[in-house]
Amino acid sequence: MSALACFAALLLVAWSLLGLLLGRAARQIAVLRSAIGLDGCPAGAGSTPAVPGPLPSLSVVVTARDEAEEIGTTVRRLLAQRYPALEIIVVDDRSTDGTSEILDRLGAGASGSRLATIHNRNLPRGWLGKCHACHLGALRARGDWILFLDGDVELVADDLLARVVHLATTRHLDHLAVIPDQRPVSALQQALLSVFAQMYLLAARVYEMDRDKRRGGAGIGAFNLVRRSSYDRIGGHSLLKMDPTDDYALGRLLKESGARQRLFDGVGLVRCRWHKGALNVARGLEKNLFAGIDYSVTELVGFTVASILLVFGPLAAGIAASALASPAGGAVPAAAWLPFLLQAVVIAWGFRRQSRRYGGSAALLSLLYPVAVLVLLGAAWNSALRTLVRGGIRWRDTFYPLAELRAGRVRAGAGRRFGVL
């Protein structure tokens, strides 16, 4: 019984700490709509008063490979942006599905010289396709700020970029990333995305983002706005050329180099449907979950054991204490159930907060939490086993050997070599 009591005490401490860190991380991520003054405006309105003062020049680099379904909407919404010094650079990375033709038609119909398309047909050895596309776009870009945007992102308001750049400059930021609105999603997919977000926010140390320490940090491929001078200081994408987690690693490099960074919730303003269905989310993580733990099986085993103990341990401890107390005729120690009660409170609080923004039943999401954890663990093992068996990853019809991926992995702390401006 003493061992069980110690286990319950450790779980209580763990969930107390986890609740505190996740709560602080959630408070660090402001809702973008509120931060830029669009609260109360109908979706897509953007007809509110103009942003005061001159705006710095902005280059939007859109990377696209086989995005024929979405690229038209993405580019048209960018062309509709009311931003005086804006250039849009779309890097068509070896598309074969009609993306190139769509971009050519859009370019022919675009007024002025806002839109430029780079049709890239070759991938140099030692580069991932997405990273090379970002690199090509950044070389062409002339703006004081660069926004890296995926090819399936829709900006809802037509003055969104003006307001976001104004927000970044007035708050003296160097990097602003936006978590996209991924609706519609099923209940299981929403629970899975929430569990993934918890892991992401803890790894990025978002709970201390306001302290501007040179550690942690993260980026988001759907919307990574970077001050050009900060981007150039870390060498652009040169260190990230073989990193499948390039958007996350870019943010970490920037933060470690001394860049001021903030994350915002883009609900209702930045739309990007990542994958359709929970299983497709798991499959979509195949290329980068194993990379996220440095291609280490040992770390994956440790993460799996810790996750199972943390998620299923509180209920197991309560049941075990009740089973041990019954034969002896004694009362069940209330303390044995405290970790489970605390866990339930933390999970319910998190999903209640999420459901207020994205909809859905907080109670149902809470019940699906352990299922979502198992799906995420399954996705991590699927990523690891497939990578190891294949000897690398296949991403958008291109194979990248594991030896080259490991050699090109950007580890935590790599950005500290760069001096602060």
H/E element, 399 = strand 398-401
In angstroms, what CA-CA distances link 322 with 316, 335, 390? 10, 11, 47
Cα distance between residue 211 and residue 258, in whole Å? 11
Tokens of 353: 């907060």
Domains along the chain with CATH numbers: 28-40+56-187+204-274 (3.90.550.10)
What is the spatial distance between Cα 198 and Cα 14, in angstroms, rounded to a whole number? 15
> What pLDDT does residue 50 have?
59
Closest CA to 91 of 53, 69, 62, 115: 62
- Residue-wise pLDDT tens digits, 293-315: 999 999 999 999 999 999 999 99
Mean pLDDT, consecutive 10-residue segments, the chain of 421 residues? 86 96 95 90 54 88 95 95 95 94 88 85 95 97 97 95 97 97 91 92 96 96 97 96 95 97 96 83 88 94 97 94 71 80 95 88 95 95 96 91 94 85 48
Mean pLDDT, all residues of the chain: 91
CA gap 289, 154 in Å, rounded: 26
Q: Give per-residue pLDDT as tens, 364-378.
A: 999 999 999 999 999
Structure tokens at 228: 């050009």
